Chain A
Amino acid sequence: MSTEVATPYEPVAVDSTTGLLSWVSTVDHKRVGILYILLAVFFLLVGGVEAVLIRTQLAIPNNTFLSPEVFNQLFTMHGTTMVFLVGMPFFTGFSNYLVPLMIGAKDVAFPRLNAMSFWMLPFGAFLLYFSFFTGAAPNAGWFSYAPLSTKPYSLGPGIDYWIVGLVVMGVGSIAGAINIVATVLCMRAPGMSLQRVPLFVWIMLMQAMLIVVTIPPLNSALALLSVDRWLEAAFFEPVRGGSVLLWQHFFWIFGHPEVYVFALPAFAMVSEVIPVFSRKPIYGYAFVAGSSTIILLLSYSVWAHHMFAVGLGTSANIFFSAMTMLIALPTGVKIFNWTATMWGGSIRFTTSMLFAIAFLIQFVIGGLTGVMFAAVPIDWQMTDTYFVVAHFHYVLIGGVVFAIFAATYYWFPKMTGRMLDEKLGKWQFWLWLVGFNGTFMVQHFLGAMGMPRRVYTYADNPGWALLNGISSASVLFMVAGTLVLIWNIVSSLRHGQVAGNNPWDGFTLEWATTSPPPETNFDKLPEIKSRRPVWDQQHPDLADWKFAKTPADSGSRPDRAKVCAWAFVISEAVFFVLLLVTYVVFNSQATGDGPTAESALDVRRTGIFSLFLLASSLTFFFSEWCLRTSRRGAFLFWLATTILLGITFLCGQGWEYYGLIANDVTIDRNLFASTFFTVTGFHGLHVTAGLIALAIMFTLGRQNHLTQEHAKPYGAIGVYWHFVDVVWILVFSIIYLGVFQS
């Protein structure tokens, strides 16, 4: 039954450009994926060196190896680096490389956008690390709590570099995630229904969707912080009416889902590794996949469990505690399924499998301490101590990094065509196992001894020196293990055993092609009739589709331009909603003196200019219709009208700004002015961006480059343009009409 069907692609001449420069210009998803992974490895080493320095300083009491200033910069950069420059790129890299292969596609949905998303990262990283050369790296911790991160308490430019670097990297992450979403939804090979995609693909789809909605809250928080720092507003300055908790809320609305942005891919990786090395299908596919979806949905309603100690109030604490407990369930479901998958399997203890098993055990430990933190009173004692440091390192290293190692040993043969050496691999595994547990297990006890996190040194309290010493010494094992890994990679690349197509007897489509795959990924695709097409091909008697029926592929795929536009609009919507929430929080109640919406704004005039913007949506709709029906003249007319209407609206806004500033209503005047200018300013920026896109379309249209075929991408721009109008309706009703005013 292992019939092969020809791929639906035309054969494309393989791009034979080689050499280093070709890596810069490449848009091949596999090469971009490898670039992501290399960047992550580089910053893993950088962040690792920072960690080693931190542990050296803490090895003995009253140490003076590092000054407090440098220590604070190091742990800030360690956290930021590991989150944004190691975790996210590693996973984006793996999903870039593997998702198109696993769904039988030739490339991602938007290869050029993909390359751009990648290059945003080194750019952002450069901005972040450039701060070291100014002599003041950011030093407010990776969550930069206000007011410590505002001007009076952080005068240097460190935080400014931090803000700009994070925004740049965030834009890249959102673009990359949108690409993965569009790829999975639109590029699947025939037969690959969404219920048949490998778990890796499904979970990475969930992760990408999570990134799309989780980065915008960070961006809104960063926008507010930068307005505070650069334009002297007072969002986070209590003396002038601001709220320091607003930062924490916004940051953790981003920050907690971000935890799942890391955890989900780790789940995805072991969900591939464990079944293959147990020679069984995953137990309860639907439950593993479904629980990932549930985690995605719940993850944004638990953020305040990072804030149990701020005194939110009894009711809020109880509810967030309950929600946090709830999210432990879908994770528990997964642990059950992985265990059940190994149960009765024929286990092959490869290095990859060893890392996956260690992942399981260590992740359970991290998860159980997580449940302890969800019981609020325990959190009151243990939060902000080394217990919490141990907890999240168990999740992030014991869980996530071990899963990354498992994935590295598993997919390295596919990426390079050569196997990693198993003997060296086992050395690395044991060194890391000992090193990791030695470093972080004792930190649980340090927390119970009362050692707060983020202290640059400590007095010689009983027991502290010993445990800190053990913790620091164990780091050496991890360093040694890392060196073994690097040596393993370098030597295996040269004379590792040749891998062949399917060295592990893998199940999913990436093992159906050569290692490394050709530029177009597949010469021929096996027929896809189940969740394990390669297994079906290898074991025709035991083929899955004979025993476990899966919903068939309807064959329909959404249009990728539309998927891209909608994902982008959703992401932007989250950003604006949080800015509007800020407006409502600070303006729902009349406080203090200074201008208010009633006293400063001319509702009627702005209302008239709003009509221009709303009309432009209509004219855009006409232009789209004309393009679809190939009426070039009318198309250009309506497009030009749209642009003119948009410009008129912007002029109206400029007029309003001029009047306000002339009356001394400037952004640093009071919170009304700050929120007003921030919200309308960002909206104006979006209108401007839309106008630029429309102007490009107009030029293309004049040069006769736009035809009926382009109606879909043109429609995608339309989705954005209509979105900007809808946002304005909200802005107008909230700010000008004062819907939430009391």
Chain B
Amino acid sequence: MSSDQLWNWTSPVWLVVAVLSIGYLRLAHGRNRAQLASFLFGLSALAFAFVSPVGVLSDGYLFSAHMVQHLVLLLVVPLCILLGLPREQSERWFQNARLNRVGRILAIASIGWICGVGAMWFWHVPTLCSTAAQEPILGFARDFSLVAAGLAFWWPIYAPASRYRLDPLRGIAYLFSACLGCTLLGIYITFAPISVCPVFANPVDRIGILNALYDAGLTPGIDQHIGGLMMWVPPCVLYVGAITSLLCRWYSDIEPETRIRKDYVEPRGASI
């Protein structure tokens, strides 16, 4: 296998990256260095997902590569983009009534949760998974929907304006249940006796690397194993990291004075 076949330098993703970075540099005033780094990292992850071997192999060869691409699009890119938005500038943007409404809708936890976890499950229904890998249009729809769903998913946790964010304890429950959701899918894919995405079970050898892959031990069974574990472990680690950041947010959330609500009444004798 030659290495240049594994890189897809002519991917149209560059267009998206270019538009986004120009937009960011022009519009995002008041960004600090960390935000810039985060945003650029997000864009490079986006490019990486399509240009690098991950992108090429995920196109009909390896389920595990497909899974990496899927996770980068769903979790890494949106997270980095959200973290890259400058706080004050975003506050100003979301003063706009229409944007504010969008922000408020996205702040409803169940919507974000269903988008994030739903996207993972939805695109792994066997028939959809296969069709999306074969039909370029559906594939594009999938990739786009993944990024969009990812933005919706991270919004209640890392929205640039704090009024859209969930309070930390709820946020932990939100992330933890999402973690359970992808764990289940991961377990299912890892231990399922069947091929979750039949395309990858019998790949079409477009660029003649199939034997090399099999020799490296990446047979369809192992490939699906790795894919399932990718679905499972890295997101969970990411979620646990996010949960840790929420815990820090919660414990450092110091208010100056103790105030107890006047009308607070201790619950009385229970009935069960």
Assess A/B contact in the complex (Cβ within 8 A). yes
Task: List residues of A whose CB falls within 8 A of some B CB.
Answer: 7-9, 105-107, 109-113, 186-187, 189-191, 194-195, 249, 285-286, 289-290, 293-294, 297-298, 300-301, 313-316, 319, 322-323, 326, 529, 545, 549-557, 560, 564, 577, 581, 584-585, 588-589, 713, 739-740, 742
The residue from A290, A555, A713 contacting B261, defined by CB atoms under 8 A apart? A555
Most buried by B among A195, A285, A564, A739: A195
Indicate if the CB atoms of B270 and A319 lie closer than 8 Å.
no
Indicate if the CB atoms of B271 and A555 lie closer than 8 Å.
no
Indicate if the CB atoms of B256 and A551 lie closer than 8 Å.
no
**Nearest chain A residue, comparing its CB with the CB of B121:** A739
Indicate if the CB atoms of A313 and B258 lie closer than 8 Å.
no
**Nearest chain B residue, comparing its CB with the CB of A253:** B187
Indicate if the CB atoms of A189 and B266 lie closer than 8 Å.
yes
Instruction: Supply 18 A–B pairs (Cβ within 8 Å), ascending by A.
Output: A105-B266, A109-B270, A112-B272, A187-B267, A191-B260, A286-B251, A294-B244, A301-B183, A315-B222, A319-B232, A323-B233, A552-B258, A553-B259, A557-B267, A564-B272, A581-B184, A581-B188, A589-B193
Tell me the bound Cα distance from A286 to B248 in angstroms.
8
Given contacts A293-B243, A315-B226, A316-B190, contact A549 B254 (CB under 8 A): yes
Tell me the bound Cα distance from A194 to B217 in angstroms.
51
Indicate if the CB atoms of A195 and B226 lie closer than 8 Å.
no
Most buried by A among B172, B254, B257: B254
Tell me the bound Cα distance from A742 to B128 in angstroms.
12
Indicate if the CB atoms of A584 and B192 lie closer than 8 Å.
yes
Chain B residues whose C-beta falls within 8 Å of the C-beta of A713 in the assembled complex:
271-272
**Nearest chain B residue, comparing its CB with the CB of A10:** B268
Indicate if the CB atoms of B126 and A7 lie closer than 8 Å.
no
Tell me the bound Cα distance from A739 to B125 in angstroms.
7
Indicate if the CB atoms of A8 and B254 lie closer than 8 Å.
no
A-B contact count, CB below 8 Å?
Answer: 130
Indicate if the CB atoms of B229 and A552 lie closer than 8 Å.
no
B148 interfacial by beta-carbon distance below 8 Å: no
Contact with A along B176-198 (1 / 0, CB 8 A): 10010001100110111111001
Tell me the bound Cα distance from A550 to B193 in angstroms.
52
Chain B residues whose C-beta falls within 8 Å of the C-beta of A549 in the assembled complex:
254, 256
Most buried by B among A113, A552, A713: A552
Tell me the bound Cα distance from A414 to B8 in angstroms.
71
Known: A110-B272, A195-B251, A298-B240. 4 other contacts (CB 8 A): A8-B266, A585-B192, A739-B125, A742-B198
**Nearest chain B residue, comparing its CB with the CB of A290:** B247
B66 interfacial by beta-carbon distance below 8 Å: no
Indicate if the CB atoms of B194 and A588 lie closer than 8 Å.
yes
Indicate if the CB atoms of A249 and B270 lie closer than 8 Å.
no
Tell me the bound Cα distance from A555 to B187 in angstroms.
41
Nearest 9 pairs between A and B by C-beta? A555-B261, A286-B251, A8-B266, A290-B247, A110-B272, A319-B229, A552-B258, A190-B260, A552-B255
Indicate if the CB atoms of B236 and A555 lie closer than 8 Å.
no
Chain B residues whose C-beta falls within 8 Å of the C-beta of A187 in the assembled complex:
266-267
B253 interfacial by beta-carbon distance below 8 Å: yes
Chain A residues whose C-beta falls within 8 Å of the C-beta of B271 in the assembled complex:
713
Task: List residues of B whose CB falls within 8 A of some A CB.
Answer: 125-126, 169, 172, 176, 179, 183-184, 187-188, 190-195, 198, 217, 222, 225-226, 229, 232-233, 236-237, 239-240, 243-244, 247-248, 250-261, 264-267, 269-272
The residue from A316, A319, A552 contacting B259, defined by CB atoms under 8 A apart? A552
Chain A residues whose C-beta falls within 8 Å of the C-beta of B191 in the assembled complex:
249, 585
Given contacts A322-B233, A551-B254, A739-B125, contact A297 B176 (CB under 8 A): yes
Chain A residues whose C-beta falls within 8 Å of the C-beta of B176 in the assembled complex:
297
Indicate if the CB atoms of A290 and B233 lie closer than 8 Å.
no
- Min Cβ gap B63→A in Å is 12
Chain B residues whose C-beta falls within 8 Å of the C-beta of A186 in the assembled complex:
267
Indicate if the CB atoms of B270 and A110 lie closer than 8 Å.
yes
Indicate if the CB atoms of B126 and A293 lie closer than 8 Å.
no
The residue from B188, B222, B247, B264 contacting A555, defined by CB atoms under 8 A apart? B264
Chain A residues whose C-beta falls within 8 Å of the C-beta of B194 in the assembled complex:
588-589, 742
Tell me the bound Cα distance from A315 to B265 in angstroms.
55
Indicate if the CB atoms of A551 and B266 lie closer than 8 Å.
no
- Min Cβ gap B106→A in Å is 24
Chain B residues whose C-beta falls within 8 Å of the C-beta of A9 in the assembled complex:
266
Tell me the bound Cα distance from A627 to B250 in angstroms.
38
Tell me the bound Cα distance from A659 to B260 in angstroms.
62
Indicate if the CB atoms of B272 and A319 lie closer than 8 Å.
no
Indicate if the CB atoms of B254 and A194 lie closer than 8 Å.
no
**Nearest chain A residue, comparing its CB with the CB of B257:** A552
The residue from A8, A105, A289 contacting B264, defined by CB atoms under 8 A apart? A8
Tell me the bound Cα distance from A605 to B189 in angstroms.
32
- Min Cβ gap A657→B in Å is 28
Chain B residues whose C-beta falls within 8 Å of the C-beta of A577 in the assembled complex:
184
**Nearest chain B residue, comparing its CB with the CB of A106:** B266
Given contacts A195-B251, A584-B188, contact A315 B225 (CB under 8 A): yes
- Min Cβ gap B232→A in Å is 7
Chain B residues whose C-beta falls within 8 Å of the C-beta of A105 in the assembled complex:
266
- Min Cβ gap B70→A in Å is 17
**Nearest chain A residue, comparing its CB with the CB of B172:** A293
Tell me the bound Cα distance from A588 to B189 in angstroms.
12
Tell me the bound Cα distance from A736 to B264 in angstroms.
50
**Nearest chain B residue, comparing its CB with the CB of A296:** B176
Chain A residues whose C-beta falls within 8 Å of the C-beta of B252 in the assembled complex:
286
- Min Cβ gap A191→B in Å is 6
Indicate if the CB atoms of A286 and B247 lie closer than 8 Å.
yes
Given contacts A577-B184, A742-B194, contact A294 B225 (CB under 8 A): no
- Min Cβ gap B260→A in Å is 5
Indicate if the CB atoms of B183 and A290 lie closer than 8 Å.
no
Tell me the bound Cα distance from A8 to B267 in angstroms.
9
Tell me the bound Cα distance from A556 to B240 in angstroms.
27
Chain A residues whose C-beta falls within 8 Å of the C-beta of B267 in the assembled complex:
109, 186-187, 557, 560
Chain A residues whose C-beta falls within 8 Å of the C-beta of B222 in the assembled complex:
313-315
Tell me the bound Cα distance from A286 to B250 in angstroms.
9
Tell me the bound Cα distance from A588 to B270 in angstroms.
47
Indicate if the CB atoms of A316 and B125 lie closer than 8 Å.
no
Chain B residues whose C-beta falls within 8 Å of the C-beta of A293 in the assembled complex:
172, 243, 247
Chain A residues whose C-beta falls within 8 Å of the C-beta of B172 in the assembled complex:
293
Chain B residues whose C-beta falls within 8 Å of the C-beta of A742 in the assembled complex:
126, 194-195, 198
Tell me the bound Cα distance from A319 to B229 in angstroms.
7
Chain B residues whose C-beta falls within 8 Å of the C-beta of A294 in the assembled complex:
240, 243-244
Tell me the bound Cα distance from A315 to B125 in angstroms.
23
Indicate if the CB atoms of B244 and A191 lie closer than 8 Å.
no
Indicate if the CB atoms of A315 and B229 lie closer than 8 Å.
yes
Chain A residues whose C-beta falls within 8 Å of the C-beta of B190 in the assembled complex:
316
Chain B residues whose C-beta falls within 8 Å of the C-beta of A107 in the assembled complex:
269-270
- Min Cβ gap B227→A in Å is 9
The residue from B192, B198, B264, B272 contacting A588, defined by CB atoms under 8 A apart? B192
- Min Cβ gap B153→A in Å is 18
Indicate if the CB atoms of B169 and A194 lie closer than 8 Å.
yes
Indicate if the CB atoms of A556 and B253 lie closer than 8 Å.
no
- Min Cβ gap A195→B in Å is 6
Chain B residues whose C-beta falls within 8 Å of the C-beta of A556 in the assembled complex:
261
**Nearest chain B residue, comparing its CB with the CB of A584:** B188
- Min Cβ gap B190→A in Å is 7
Indicate if the CB atoms of B188 and A301 lie closer than 8 Å.
no
Indicate if the CB atoms of B265 and A8 lie closer than 8 Å.
yes
- Min Cβ gap A732→B in Å is 16
Tell me the bound Cα distance from A195 to B247 in angstroms.
10
Chain A residues whose C-beta falls within 8 Å of the C-beta of B244 in the assembled complex:
290, 294
Given contacts A315-B225, A588-B193, contact A560 B254 (CB under 8 A): no
The residue from A109, A289, A316, A529 contacting B229, defined by CB atoms under 8 A apart? A316
Tell me the bound Cα distance from A200 to B222 in angstroms.
44
Chain A residues whose C-beta falls within 8 Å of the C-beta of B270 in the assembled complex:
107, 109-112, 560
**Nearest chain B residue, comparing its CB with the CB of A588:** B194
Chain B residues whose C-beta falls within 8 Å of the C-beta of A529 in the assembled complex:
258
Chain A residues whose C-beta falls within 8 Å of the C-beta of B265 in the assembled complex:
8
Chain B residues whose C-beta falls within 8 Å of the C-beta of A326 in the assembled complex:
237
Indicate if the CB atoms of B251 and A290 lie closer than 8 Å.
yes
- Min Cβ gap A737→B in Å is 11
